[in-house]
């Protein structure tokens, strides 16, 4: 857990060294990608579900918070909490319906739900304002009795807000991953029939993973709405889905460290490639191919595998040394 503490400290002191709007904006997007990727990782790396609807939860959280705070004068925290709740409810319903079919059909159905919600956002003009979207979403603000109201206006304040959300979410994810619930998820991912033979209700735990993933998406969506101050149906984006899949798979599905590495790499790399706009997409594609050929289990998965082999080699050498001593 020491590495996570260092990670949290590193995030917290960034504004001490720079007040660059560009860098803070990039790190804010890193935080949002990390929140979304943790939810997707719980589904793919946790219970082995290829869920293609993370932008759906992101969009539901964003629209819920935007509508409530813009048109009904809800406070930011109220919009955030209800965004999490609505995203969790949608995740539950989608999970219940999608888990009735086979593994491959599950992926297609979850993608179909995302497309359906995008169409609803386009056509339900009285609620979502249709293709024009919802502008003028207020900045996040927190009212504390007898103290006052704190509005997050500056890039530094908005950065610290996403940092707090990331730290809380990482701690929650870490606790889940290292709890009985997390071990149950892994047992389902590794061998579902065997897990069921030991009395595990795999469908129930898959839905739990789906709902938790929806909550992470709702948090990111609510923050996004207040950060950019605008939400439109384009939030249900195939580009976002592709990016999140890349982050989880290239970083290392099933590992929290892998998601952190993947989110950072694929926030920074696209920005760095802006220096060569003519060949940016080509370099990006070649980089993905090379990484996945060299590390099909992901960057962090590759690291874990190398460390495991080193430990086995060390133990083997120690056993050989003990045998030589005995024979001598």
Q: pLDDT digits over 89-108, tens only?
A: 999 999 999 998 888 899 99
Torsion of Cα atoms, 144 then 149 then 154 then 160, to 10°: 0
pLDDT over threshold 90, residue 127: yes
> Residue 146: its pLDDT value, please?
74
Closest CA to 63 of 244, 286, 263, 217: 217
pLDDT, tens only, 152-202: 999 999 999 999 999 999 999 999 999 999 999 999 998 889 999 988 999
Q: Using pLDDT thresholds of 50, 70 and 90, give the confidence band for residue 323.
A: low
**Average pLDDT estimate for 197-222:** 94
CA 8, 240, 250, 218 dihedral sign is positive
Distance from C-alpha of 20 to C-alpha of 268, rounded to nearest angstrom: 15
Reduced to 3 DSSP states, what percent helix, strand and coil does the chain have, rounded to the nearest 5? 80, 5, 15
- Whether pLDDT at 28 is above 80: yes
Domains of the chain, by residue range, sit at 2-276
pLDDT above 80 for 298: yes
Question: pLDDT at position 304, please?
Answer: 85
Binned at pLDDT 50, 70 and 90, residue 39 comes out as very high
Distance (Å, whole) CA 130 – CA 275: 36
From CA 241, how far away is CA 199, in angstroms rounded? 34
Q: pLDDT above 90 covers what percent of the chain? A: 67
Q: pTM of the predicted model, to two decimals?
A: 0.92
- Give the separation between CA 107 and CA 176, rounded to whole angstroms: 24
Considering only CA atoms, which of 189, 241, 181 is closest in space to residue 44?
189
Judged by DSSP in three states, 188 sits in helix
111 contact partners, CB below 8 Å, separation of at least 6: 52, 53, 241
Check residue 326 and give its pLDDT. 58
Q: What is the mean pLDDT of the chain?
A: 91
Pairing status of strand 230-231 against strand 134-135: antiparallel
Question: Any bridge partners for residue 141, and if so which?
Answer: 151
Parallel, antiparallel, or unpaired for β 148-151 and 134-135?
Answer: unpaired
**68 against 325, higher pLDDT:** 68
Q: What is the pLDDT of residue 35?
A: 96
Name the nearest CA neighbour of 54 among 183, 190, 224: 224
pLDDT at 104: 82
Interatomic CA distance for residues 53 and 41, integer angstroms: 12
Q: Over range 303-311, report the average pLDDT.
A: 86
Span 53-69, average pLDDT: 96
Give dist(CA 252, CA 262) in Å, integer: 8
pLDDT of residue 144: 79
Q: How does residue 126 score in pLDDT terms, banded at 50, 70 and 90?
A: very high
With 60 as the cut, is the pLDDT of residue 328 above it?
A: no
The C-alpha atoms of residue 221 and residue 176 are separated, in whole angstroms, by 22
Split at pLDDT 50, 70, 90, the class of 136 is: very high
Place of tokens 């927190």: 142
CATH T-level topology, domain 2-276: ABC transporter involved in vitamin B12 uptake, BtuC (1.10.3470)
Give the Cβ contact number of residue 131 at 10 Å.
12
pLDDT at 325: 62
In sequence order, which residues have a C-beta less than 8 Å from that of residue 141 and are 6 or more positions away? Answer: 75, 76, 149, 150, 151, 152
Can you give the three-state secondary structure of 122-143, one letter per residue? HHCHHHHCHHHCEECCCCCEEE
The residues, any chain, with a CB within 8 Å of residue 238's CB and separated by 6 or more, are: 55
């Amino acid at each position: 857990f020491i590495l996570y503490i260092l990670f949290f400290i590193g995030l917290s002191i960034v504004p001490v060294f720079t007040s660059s709007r560009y860098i803070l904006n990039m790190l804010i997007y890193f935080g949002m990608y990390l929140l979304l990727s943790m939810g997707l990782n719980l589904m793919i790396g946790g219970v082995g579900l290829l869920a293609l609807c993370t932008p759906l939860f992101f969009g539901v959280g964003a629209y819920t918070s935007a509508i409530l705070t813009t048109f009904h004068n809800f406070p930011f925290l109220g919009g955030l909490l209800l965004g999490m709740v609505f995203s969790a409810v949608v995740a539950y319903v989608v999970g219940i319906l999608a888990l009735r079919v086979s593994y491959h059909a599950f992926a297609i159905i979850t993608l179909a739900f995302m497309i359906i919600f995008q169409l609803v956002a386009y056509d339900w003009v009285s609620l979502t304002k249709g293709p024009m979207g919802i502008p003028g979403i207020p900045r996040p603000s927190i009212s504390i009795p007898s103290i006052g109201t704190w509005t997050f206006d500056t890039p530094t304040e908005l950065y610290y807000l996403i940092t707090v959300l990331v730290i809380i979410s990482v701690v929650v994810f870490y606790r889940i991953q290292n709890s009985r619930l997390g071990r149950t998820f892994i047992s389902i991912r590794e061998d579902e029939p065997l897990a069921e033979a030991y009395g595990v209700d795999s469908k129930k735990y898959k839905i739990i993973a789906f709902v938790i993933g929806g909550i992470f998406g709702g948090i990111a969506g609510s923050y996004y709405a207040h950060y950019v101050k605008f939400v439109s149906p384009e939030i249900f984006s195939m580009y976002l889905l592709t990016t999140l899949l890349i982050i989880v798979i290239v970083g290392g599905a099933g590992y929290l460290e892998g998601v952190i590495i993947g989110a950072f790499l694929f926030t920074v790399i696209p920005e760095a490639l802006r220096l060569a706009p003519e060949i940016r997409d080509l370099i990006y594609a070649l980089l993905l191919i090379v990484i996945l050929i060299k590390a099909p289990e992901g960057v962090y998965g590759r690291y874990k595998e190398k460390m495991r082999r080193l430990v086995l080699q060390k133990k083997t050498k120690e056993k050989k040394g003990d045998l030589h001593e005995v024979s001598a």
